[in-house]
Chains A and B, each alone.
Chain A
Amino acid sequence: MLQGFLESLVGTSIGTTVKTSSWIFQTLEALHFIGLATLIGGIAALDLRILGVAKRLPVAPLHKLLPLVFIGFGINLVTGVLFFLSDPLGYGVNPSFQLKMVFILLAGLNALWFELKLARHVDEWGSGVDASTHAKIVCGVSLFLWAGIITAGRLLPSFAALL
């Protein structure tokens, strides 16, 4: 069933363009890294502070950096979809790609959990105030998942070579 779905995505004109033009592919890759850095910057600053780093930083302004995270994620979503369309079958059956997608989904759910349950407290965690243990766990999970996403992404070609 997955095979059929993937096969139906092969051969789109945009996918073929990305696949065949090396300068387009390189540009998209560079953008993917820049998007990664932007996303990680916003997330890591918040996660690290909640975990206890640089505690005199008030949490609320760091939480307001979320637009950065969305910008980075947006860049990577677009470039990611373009990569995928250039080789749906190749990516689709690659275990590293599948893991990456699962981790992204989990990171999204984790972030949603933070927004629904913990974001209401960010104003309480001012300069010098320790965040709750609950928040620390969620932010630790966040860092772990994003490190996993970067790793799984980086190992994609290795798994492709094995298939």
Chain B
Amino acid sequence: MMLENLDLSQWVLGSIWGYPIFLTFHSLGLGLLVGLLLVIDLRVLGFAKPLPLSELRKLMPYVWFGFVLNAISGVVLFMADATKDFYSNSFRWKMLSILIGLVVAVTLNGTVLREDTKDTPPMAKILATVSLLSWVGAIVSGRLIAYLSQPF
């Protein structure tokens, strides 16, 4: 695939530091993204009720920042290993999980997080559960890609 032959891709895969640097950004982004969403999802599920939902919504920019960090580092990591990743089942599961997680996050952000009800409706709780499962799924399937393509 052409992507793997770009000098950037060659550097990321060939140098000792390229891949690890972008993997580090990927881990930091995941900490922010999944960590903060976990707190928000737990609140939607009914934990820590003194935390107003509309205020937790103010944490979303940091969630998006984590997501963008991972999207960018993810693209670079993908470029270095494009063919293998593209055909990998783990990679496809990961992309699907991310898509679901993203749609759910945007939905929660636009609906439940705008209200200040103490108790969230059942649909919101279902969405929050799906959110947690999809991001855990993304982490697990992401780990399996790494297993299939260790760079050193």
Contacts and interface: CB of A to CB of B under 8 A. Distances in A.
Of A37, A57, A155, A157, chain B has the most CB atoms within 10 Å of the CB of A37
- The number of chain B residues touching the other chain, given as a range, is 35 or more
B24 A151 contact: yes
A111 interface: no
Contact of A36 (B27, B42, B51): B27
Contacts of A61: 48-51
Dominant secondary structure at the A interface: helix
A22 B152 contact: no
Contacts of B17: 158
Nearest to A146: B31
A18 B49 CA distance: 41
Contact of A154 (B27, B59, B135, B143): B27
Contacts of A127: 52, 55
Contact of B39 (A42, A154, A155): A42
B140 interface: yes
A34 B152 CA distance: 24
Contacts of B34: 37, 40-41
Interface string B28-67: 1011101111110010000011111001101100100000
A41 B52 contact: no
Interface stretch (A7-15, A48-56, A86-94, A133-141): A48-56
B16 interface: yes
B1 to A, nearest CB: 25
A65 B49 CA distance: 11
Nearest to B142: A33
A17 interface: no
Contact of A44 (B31, B55, B139): B31
B14 interface: no
Given A61-B48, A161-B152, A37 B31 contact: yes
Interface of B: 16-17, 20, 23-24, 27-28, 30-32, 34-39, 42, 48-52, 55-56, 58-59, 62, 135-136, 139-140, 143-144, 146-147, 152
